[in-house]
Chains A and B, each alone.
Chain A
Amino acid sequence: EAEVAQSPRYKITEKSQAVAFWCDPISGHATLYWYRQILGQGPELLVQFQDESVVDDSQLPKDRFSAERLKGVDSTLKIQPAELGDSAMYLCASSQANVLTFGAGSRLTVL
């Protein structure tokens, strides 16, 4: 069964450092999402891509977060500099026909 691949699964960093997460969606899925999930809460959309274009980044803290999806396939989410409040699970998902498939997530801990 096709999966959404994410790496790394776990990342521990000190505040003010830079971190990056990678996502490879299911082949052929044009829509890709990055969500942030704080412990005990539901996922919150950070950025949504349609092919290589950003269609929604209204909740992305643009002073420190950036996301790109070159060639409309895999995607990278970067945080620089990381802050204590960025500790969360970062989930990538891709969709076709309105059904989202999520990756296993990347757990970030900022010390």
Chain B
Amino acid sequence: KQEVTQIPAALSVPEGENLVLNCSFTDSAIYNLQWFRQDPGKGLTSLLLIQSSQREQTSGRLNASLDKSSGRSTLYIAASQPGDSATYLCAVRVATDSWGKLQFGAGTQVVVTP
């Protein structure tokens, strides 16, 4: 069974610092990996989707890398702002599941202090 782990569970940084969030998965047979943001008590917002054939994706201050062979993805957020405070979750789409089931990590809770 695919296991997705996110370490650390929580992170606090001063405004302006770069954020580095880690995601690891046990089975490299994935279709893609997706990063989400979740604000307290709200649903999930998709940030970036990386296909299994890709190494990275970028959107504005966000950059996500994927190393499928080692089972790792990293989300970089440049020049963090207080508005970046949220929980960030990664999810992998399992290739061995015929319907492409998404397996989520527990998330990293980020606080950016002014």
Binding site for B on A (CB under 8 A): 4, 6, 33, 40-45, 48, 50, 55-56, 89, 91, 93, 98-105, 107
Contacts and interface: CB of A to CB of B under 8 A. Distances in A.
Given A56-B99, A56-B101, A98-B49, A105 B42 contact: yes
Contacts of A56: 97, 99, 101
Contacts, number: 55
Interface centre among A98, A101, A105 (most CB of B within 10 A): A98
Contacts of B43: 4, 6, 91, 102-105
Dominant SS at the B interface? Answer: strand
Given A99-B46, A105-B42, 9 more contacts: A40-B106, A43-B44, A43-B104, A45-B101, A48-B101, A56-B97, A98-B49, A102-B46, A104-B43
A55 B100 CA distance: 11
